[in-house]
Amino acid sequence: HLSCCSMENLYLLMGRELEELEEVPAGNILGIRGLEESVLKSATLSDSPVCPPFTPLNFEATPIVRVAIEPKHPSEMPKLVRGMRLLNQADPCAEVLIQETGEHVLVTAGEVHLQRCLDDLRDRFAKIEISVSKPIIPFRETVIRPPKVDMVNEDLGRQQKVAVIHQVKEEASQARLSDTLRLGPDGLVTLTTPNRQALVSVRAGPLPPEVTGLLESSSELIRTLELMNMSLREGRPMDVNPGTLEDIVKLKDQLTSLFQGRKWRNAVERIWAFGPRRSGPNILLNNIKEYSRPSVWQCLDPAGAEAAVLRDLDNSIISGFQLATLSGPMCEEPLMGVCFSIERWDMLSSANPVAPPEQRDLMEEYSNTLEVSQSTSEEMTSGSNKAEQRFDSASADCYGPVSGQLIAATKEACRHAFQAQPQRLMAAMYTCDIMATAEVLGRVYGVLGKREGRVLLEEMKEGTDMFLIKAVLPIAESFGFADEIRKRTSGLASPQLVFSHWEVINSDPYWVPTTEEEYLHFGEKADSENQALKYMNAVRRRKGLYVEEKIVEHAEKQRTLSKNK
């Protein structure tokens, strides 16, 4: 991006004051007026358009905590928008965006950074009263390999005990979608469109952790790869920097080396798409034997890509996959580290689509009505025939276009294939560095254990009585962590929190106790130690989704029952 602008004034930063100058000598930090319309976060200033730009600023802290903001008085919305735009320019680590729901969202690096940004927005930039939602903590949904031990570390053997709740959900799905949904014993889900014209079979599985990390760190390259493929299909090849092409080839080679084993043989060449948003850490594989579709690497070999032909409605499969990975079935959070394999895709005969029983009954009733009306007059007969033809054409399209039905079928098939595997939540984790003395070391460990933290390293600084503790802490448990640890240690320990990675929560949110040992260990409800269930219900409650919980278990045993008589 290149834009022209004129500098109005130059200022030399003198402590808290600005000194206006005609020119600033080299080696000083200066301020420039007149760039607010051209520079957002960082830019390279030059009097020559051929100057190569500097690399953008790289921050160790990643924005991860977000809140929704709105003015207390709706008439002040323009002031809030302008204030958030100024905050976005002033703070290089803050992000401002508008969600699909229309909410104005502020994304910050942590609790302290969030409070600082809100204070600046109230007092300096917008200068209005604002309402702030509770912090929105992101989660991810994934699947894992079937575990070999249960929640009390007992060997499962051959039984899939983690699928107890999934079996119940599958039976409910079979009862509701028995005409269109079929679930195989190996997790293969087959779903037919409502008009019985298309059939899709999908199987889900976990990606290797190394592949997931590589895809997450290479999202920009994958996005460029997708743009190149779109330009190639449209017949206008895209000019790309040779260095970018080398990076894409290197990414392909790295994926090839990471996909080890017979299960992943030729998996890189069979990649259909990445998701969500065509650049995420999930993969769609083409395992259809009779469909040799070009892979996502076709732009690296334009000659071979021209000979390949895409099937009709190919983009509908990709769109359904993108929708499925954008919001998972657990709590409508994006998926991460999941591989969906399309095993079968058949376009059935569309000459005589089979209507469901209720549709057939309606058509028969309507045809009987037309037969009665035909006996009235010849004009009525011709009119009824036209009406019958219109009804037949409407009944054939009552489910909408085939492309839309295939998108919905692919999405539902991916979601059911996901639920057929052991599901897990992934939590965003902070790396926590703490400096503490030996006297308060036990209290630090107590606070970390209370907030689901895990100590990775503890070492003593040579020549001092200070200990350096390195731990990981879920972001969902980090609010108020700094204040609590200072109170418990009388100010002798201070934490430093930086976003690190995504981590799978070991507990199954759908697990229920079934054996006597599990009832003794976890109780009848088994909700006291299930961290994943607590997080999942909190997200579902925030989004207005159904939460399976009992508000009152024994209504007849309330303390106020006798008083109200």
Q: What's the rounded Cα separation, in Å, for the pair 282 and 179?
A: 29
Q: What angle do CA 455, 207, 407 make, to 5 degrees?
A: 125
Total domains present in the chain: 5
Q: According to the model, what pLDDT value does residue 26 have?
A: 83
Q: What's the rounded Cα separation, in Å, for the pair 346 and 192?
A: 9
Q: What's the rounded Cα separation, in Å, for the pair 335 and 472?
A: 22
Residue ending a domain, choose from 507, 524, 558: 507
Q: 537, 426, 508, 430: which is closest to 474 by C-alpha?
A: 430
DSSP designation for 448: H
Residue ending a domain, choose from 115, 136, 157: 136
Residue ending a domain, choose from 83, 108, 136: 136
Q: Which segments within 74-180 are labelled E, that is strand?
A: 95-98, 104-108, 130-132, 139-143
Distances (CA, A) of 14 to 20, 30, 32, 120, 137: 10, 9, 14, 22, 40
Task: For residues 407 and 258, state if they share a domain.
Answer: yes
Percent of the chain with pLDDT over 70: 80
Distances (CA, A) of 117 to 70, 134, 302, 330, 482: 14, 15, 48, 32, 18
Q: According to the model, what pLDDT value does residue 554 have?
A: 67
Q: According to the model, what pLDDT value does residue 382 have?
A: 47
pLDDT band of residue 172 (cuts 50, 70, 90) is very low
Give 206's strand partners.
338
Task: For residues 284 and 377, state if they share a domain.
Answer: no
Q: According to the model, what pLDDT value does residue 555 have?
A: 65
Q: Is residue 166 part of a domain?
A: no
* Parallel, antiparallel or unpaired: strands 454-460 and 466-474: antiparallel
CATH number at residue 497: 3.30.70.240
Q: Is residue 258 part of a domain?
A: yes
Q: Is residue 381 part of a domain?
A: yes
Task: For residues 392 and 410, state if they share a domain.
Answer: no
Q: 143, 92, 237: which is closest to 508 by C-alpha?
A: 143
Task: For residues 292 and 436, state if they share a domain.
Answer: no
CATH number at residue 269: 3.30.230
pLDDT of 167 strictly over 80: no
Residue carrying the six token digits 């917008």 = 126
Mean pLDDT of 384-405: 59
Q: 565, 451, 516: which is closest to 152 by C-alpha?
A: 516
Q: Which residues span the domain enclosing 489?
A: 423-507
Task: For residues 412 and 430, state if they share a domain.
Answer: no
Positive or negative torsion for Cα 19, 23, 28, 30: positive
pLDDT of 489 strictly over 60: yes
Residue 539 burial (CB count, 10 A): 20
Q: Is residue 522 part of a domain?
A: no
CATH number at residue 105: 3.30.70.870
pLDDT band of residue 303 (cuts 50, 70, 90) is low
Task: For residues 209 and 340, state if they share a domain.
Answer: yes
pLDDT of 564 strictly over 80: no
pLDDT band of residue 241 (cuts 50, 70, 90) is confident
274 touches 324 (CB < 8 A): no
Q: What's the rounded Cα separation, in Å, for the pair 190 and 416?
A: 9
Q: Is residue 86 part of a domain?
A: yes
pLDDT of 335 strictly over 70: yes
Residue 85, token pair as written in the block? 């735009």
Task: List all residues 6 or more positions away from 98 whose beta carbon is below 8 Å from its beta carbon.
Answer: 104, 105
Distances (CA, A) of 217 to 41, 259, 501: 21, 17, 11
Task: For residues 410 and 272, state if they share a domain.
Answer: yes
pLDDT, tens digit, 9 for 90 and up, residues 86-124: 998 888 889 999 988 788 999 998 888 999 999 999 999
Backbone φ and ψ of 73, nearest 5°: -110, 115
364 touches 355 (CB < 8 A): no
Positive or negative torsion for Cα 25, 30, 34, 37: positive
Q: Is residue 190 part of a domain?
A: no
What burial class does residue 357 get, using C-beta atoms within 10 Å of its C-beta: 0-12 exposed, 13-18 middle, 19+ buried? exposed
Q: Is residue 85 part of a domain?
A: yes
Q: What is the DSSP track for 48-78?
A: STTPPPPPPP--SS---EEEEEEESSGGGHH
288 touches 236 (CB < 8 A): no
Give 499's strand partners.
430
Task: List all residues 6 or more positions away from 388 whose beta carbon is below 8 Å from its beta carbon.
Answer: 366, 367, 370
pLDDT band of residue 387 (cuts 50, 70, 90) is very low
Using a CB cutoff of 8 Å and minimum separation of 24, what contacts does 449-455 make? 451/477, 451/478, 451/481, 452/477, 452/531, 453/477
H or E segment at 455? strand 454-460
Task: For residues 368 and 471, state if they share a domain.
Answer: no
Distances (CA, A) of 327 to 66, 97, 275, 320, 331: 18, 19, 11, 11, 8
**Least confident segment among 216-220, 221-225, 358-362:** 358-362
Task: For residues 240 and 113, state if they share a domain.
Answer: no
Task: List all residues 6 or more positions away from 287 whose beta carbon is below 8 Å from its beta carbon.
Answer: 270, 341, 342, 343
Q: Is residue 95 part of a domain?
A: yes
Residue 113, token pair as written in the block? 């950074």
Task: For residues 372 and 265, state if they share a domain.
Answer: no
Task: For residues 316 and 233, state if they share a domain.
Answer: yes
Task: For residues 295 and 216, state if they share a domain.
Answer: yes
Give the helix ranges, DSSP H, for 91-199: 111-120, 164-176
Residue 81 amino acid letter? V
H or E segment at 326? helix 314-326
